[in-house]
Structure 1
């Protein structure tokens, strides 16, 4: 076992992990952070997306030991003070049916919109292309993002 420490959603955590423990499993099973979901286990679906030092990554592909000294942000951290404005637009546009992809989608878009605050529709489609949604056909998700960008002055 190895002791690691990192910032999770703005708070320092320390725990022991096995060398082969995945970040996703540690977040969910040891730390109780349930927003990153297990989907494919190969990094293809995006349901396990978290921010690692501000960059979206697939937590099913990262060993927990690798995040020692790093900063992790999940949907719980982004919405620590209630729903984010982007989440409110997703609700407004009924952008989710089952909601399984929602955490990874919101985390991915959080990073994307910080880098590109005035995207066009094609850029939004490209940004979410690594996040699978089987329910919506992506149309209401894209509408929500474009409405959010338009109304926040982006």
Structure 2
């Protein structure tokens, strides 16, 4: 497999690439400098989880994901569609999936969050992400062919 290079403002990123999981903005138990020292070029963070905690206003007030995390290289943000889908699928009291997006209410909270394709992109852009992933429409393996194709 030949390697390709994605050129971003934060540096060149080879493809394919291993992306350490920094769901909430940090890789657990590993310092950013250590990640750089072993040659990590990018991290993946989760828009859905960041929207819930610490919250989009907190991320923005801290100067975006790069400032908040102390990570100078590239950041890929996943939409979080799968995470919301799986939480709601496990327990429908957490929210619902609609044609327009996801409505989610965290356990123990009266607040409802709506995540649409547009809002997902807006959040990721406001976070300062270098690579933005659109909101995915996840399906269950047991759903029929028509539903799989529609997704």
TM-score, with length taken from structure 2: 0.29
- 1 or 2 for the larger relative contact order (CA 8 Å, sep ≥6)? 1
**Rg larger in structure:** 2
Q: Which is richer in strand?
A: 2
